[in-house]
Amino acid sequence: MFDTTVCVIFVNMKNLSTGVKNILGLQLPSDPRWVNLAELELDEILTDHAYCEQKAAITCISLITKNSEKELLVDELSPIVTEEWGHFRMVIAELKKRNLKLGKQRKDVYVNSLIQFQKKDGSPQQRFLDQMLIMALIEARSCERFKRLSEGLDDLYMRNFYRKFMESEAGHYTLFITLAEHYLDKKVVRSRWTEWLKYEKELIQQMELRGDRIH
């Protein structure tokens, strides 16, 4: 397991169970060559990133709509919608500065592959758990990729740009696990999170290394 400390230090983790704190880390670091490839295709990265932020906002709205009886979830995810939409706008502004247009959304192989692992025929609780954990995982991997960009890019301005995103996403991935733990048995959350981490590790191993995608 690699060190995700930098993504975790910004997070108030006192509300998480010890078990989840211990297993929070992704199982496989991104290939170090990814940031060099990304640097060569930063315009493409920005477009892909804009859509990641847009999808994060849309998914949070959808989770609020589907779980409107869960008061804590509604309270916690409502500001995340605003935050993710703010991120979307920040990326759009950066594209504009470069005289680039948003362009069309690309096929998201990473997220589509994660969706394959969601339990389709489980109980409503199991489906809810997977929805929370898939979001936690996407946020965690995004945080790790933003960390790579914030440390590995030559351009100091872009390093700082991505550091802000890294700090935000670090808070988000723990929030989804905290919410899952609030509504479900902590042991069940922990056990399924371990399965997700294993699946995501295998997915990252299999995926083609591309510099034009965040994931």
Assigned token pair, 93: 């502004």
Interface positions, 85-104, toward Fe ion (CB under 5 A): 87
Q: Does residue 167 interact with Fe ion by CB under 5 A?
A: no
Out of 141, 172, 190, 192, the residue judged to bind Fe ion by CB under 5 A: 172
Nearest distance, CB of residue 120 and Fe ion, angstroms: 25
Interior/surface letters 85-101, b for 16+ CB within 10 angstroms, e for the rest: bebbebbbebbeeeeee
- Residue 176 DSSP SS3: helix
Return the residue of 144, 169, 181, 200 that touches Fe ion, per CB under 5 A: 169
Verify binding: residue 200, Fe ion, rule CB under 5 A: no
- For the chain, helix, strand, coil in percent to 5 are 75, 0, 25
Q: Which is nearer to Fe ion, 126 or 147 (CB)?
A: 147
Closer residue to Fe ion in complex, CB, 16/56 = 56
Residue 93 and residue 119: Cα distance in Å, rounded? Answer: 38
CB of 143 to Fe ion, least distance (A): 8
Which C-beta is closer to Fe ion: that of 6 or that of 188?
A: 6
Choice from 25, 44, 48, 84 touching Fe ion (CB under 5 A): 84
Which one, of 9, 3, 1, 2, lies nearest residue 174 by Cα? 9
- Minimal distance, residue 189 CB to Fe ion, in Å: 19
**Closer residue to Fe ion, CB minimum distance, 79 or 122:** 79
Task: Please tell me whether residue 48 binds Fe ion under the rule CB under 5 A.
Answer: no
Side-chain-side CA neighbours of residue 64 (13 Å): 16
Could you tell me which residues come within 8 angstroms of residue 61 by beta carbon, excluding any fewer than 6 positions away? 81
Q: Would you count residue 130 as binding Fe ion (CB under 5 A)?
A: no
Residue 38 or 56 with smaller CB distance to Fe ion: 56
Q: What are phi and psi of 163, to 5 degrees?
A: -65, -40
Q: Where are the alpha helices (DSSP H) in 32-155?
A: 33-40, 42-66, 71-97, 109-116, 124-152
Residue with smaller CB distance to Fe ion, 172 or 192: 172
- Pick the piece of the chain touching Fe ion (CB under 5 A) from 42-50, 56-64, 103-111, 152-160: 56-64
Residue ranges binding Fe ion (CB under 5 A): 53, 56, 84, 87, 139, 169, 172
